[in-house]
Amino acid sequence: MLHRDDARPQNLHTRDVRRLLGDVHLAHVDVALQPEVRGGGGQGHAVLPGTGFGDDLLLTHEAGEEALGHNALLAGFQGQRQWTDHSPNGDFMEAILNSSFDWNGTRQPYLVATENDALNGVAMLFGHLLTCTAQMFSDVRTYWSPAAIRRVTGHTLSGAAEHGVIHLINSGASALDFSGRQSVAVKPFWEITPAEVEACLADTLWPPAIYEYFRGGGYSSEFLTRGGMPLTMSRVNLVQGLGPVLQIAEGWSVDLPDEVNKALVDRTDPTWPTTWFAPRLTGKGAFSDVYAVMGNWGANHGAISCGHIGADLITLAALARIPVCMHNVAEAEIFRPSAWNAFGMDKEGADYRACANFGPLYGKR
């Protein structure tokens, strides 16, 4: 428990987080299936030793429910609103699991999709497997045009943001790596130094969850992504009669003046993590302008990876037989299997035809 003289909700700061982390104990499953005796004489759930997960066969037969997520690559949390109307939200859990560090130090991120959005989770998984770095789950929340920002704040956008920005913000949880306080934006966990962990923590606040969304209480993670980071936003959409398709948008994070950022963030929620995203425009199609990028996005969620990895995603999608319906990657950077050349000269159309012809590599049997 946090003890404060003032009983009103307060922001959690780094020192508070460290105190909380010290009290967190992960649930285990005892391979011998002996219930663990908890304080107060209560019986805990069967637990696994912290040093290993035991025999897979034993887990399956004797602890079937606990084994459902064993060896999983991806998880999701269906918080809103089935859980959060009645219980504290999972924002702290999601933020820490998705980050490259916890109370034990640096470690590989655990990918957790907000609202149990499995399709966005798959895009997070693609990004993580290609880069070995943390991924950010975000709402593709708002398009702010230069005219609208000038009207609301008096500020004129310039640089990468001159054509407008997309407000990427998640309802309370994102990987703390995306505060951008590591020396090279977002790094693989084995390259992150203790000082960089401290910098990411110091740049993150844990405000009380807002009542409108989280009636059960809890804390949200709040940070502002540093500008100048190359980012790739992607998402898998599922189309009836077609199957999965992939969308990709490369661009950059941008900085806004403090007073401008506050005026815009306050119109959504100041307690949530914010990234201002300026996609790279091509002048045609879905990338004719910033609004068109958001207008063509298949859902209100996107998976954000640090770095411009669109070309790698396109190659991976071809191998998985997932056609790409939207991207702003230069043609010279794209590699697909040579067999795709037999399906026509229009590259995107050929991609659809080849994926349909060869069929998915993975699926229900």
Question: Alpha-carbon distance 274 to 171, whole Å?
Answer: 10
Strand partners, 237: 245
- Tens digits of per-residue pLDDT, 140-152? 999 999 999 999 9
Given a cut of 60, whether residue 45 has pLDDT beyond it is no
Please give the pLDDT value at position 364. 59
Q: What's the gap between Cα 222 and its chain centre?
A: 14
- Tens digits of per-residue pLDDT, 59-102? 667 777 777 777 789 999 887 788 888 899 989 999 999 999 99
Q: What rounded mean pLDDT belongs to the chain? A: 86
pTM: 0.83
SS3 of the chain: the string is CCCCCCCCCCCECHHHHHHHHHCCCCCCECCCCCCCECHHHCECCCECCCCCCCCHHHHHHHCHHHHCCCCCCCEEECCCCCCCCCCCCCHHHHHHHHCCEECCEECCCCCEEECCCHHHHHHHHHHHHHHCCCCEEEEEEEEECHHHHHHHHCCCCCHHHCCCEEEEECCCCCCHHHHCCECCECCCHHHCCHHHHHHHHHCCEECECCCCCCCCCCECCECECCCCCEEEEEEEEEECCCEEEEEEEEEEECCCCHHHHHHHHCCCCCCCCEEEEEECCCCCHHHCCHHHHHHCCCCCEEEEEECCCHHHHHHHHHHCCCCEEECCCCHHHCCCCHHHHHHCCCHHHHHHHHHHHHCCCCCCC
Query: For the residues 288-310, what does the mean pLDDT come to?
Result: 97
Is the Cα torsion angle 239, 241, 243, 245 positive or negative in sign? negative
- Tens digits of per-residue pLDDT, 203-229? 999 999 988 888 898 899 999 999 999
Q: Is there a contact between 254 and 227 (Cβ–Cβ < 8 Å)?
A: yes
- One-letter identity of residue 287: F
Quote the percentage of the chain above a pLDDT of 70.
Answer: 83
Please give the pLDDT value at position 17. 55
Strand partners, 76: 113
Sketch out the chain's domains with CATH numbers.
Answer: 1-71 (no CATH), 74-358 (3.20.14.10)
Q: What's the gap between Cα 208 and its chain centre?
A: 21
Query: Which residues does 128 contact at the CB level (< 8 Å), separation at least 6?
Result: 109, 111, 134, 135, 305
Query: Which residues does 130 contact at the CB level (< 8 Å), separation at least 6?
Result: 305, 309, 312, 313, 316
Q: Is there a contact between 297 and 277 (Cβ–Cβ < 8 Å)?
A: no
Query: Which residues does 146 contact at the CB level (< 8 Å), separation at least 6?
Result: 156, 157, 162, 163, 164
Query: Which are the catalytic amino acids?
Result: 115, 139
Query: For the residues 14-33, what does the mean pLDDT come to?
Result: 45
Structure token pair of residue 135: 């991924």
Structure token pair of residue 160: 């990468």
Per the omega criterion (within 30 degrees of 0), is the bond before 81 cis?
yes
Is the Cα torsion angle 81, 85, 87, 89 positive or negative in sign? positive
Q: Which of 181, 163, 134 has its CA nearest to residue 277?
A: 163
Question: Alpha-carbon distance 349 to 354, whole Å?
Answer: 9
- Tens digits of per-residue pLDDT, 314-357? 999 999 999 999 999 999 999 999 999 999 999 999 999 999 99
Q: Which of 278, 271, 325, 321 has its CA nearest to residue 297?
A: 325
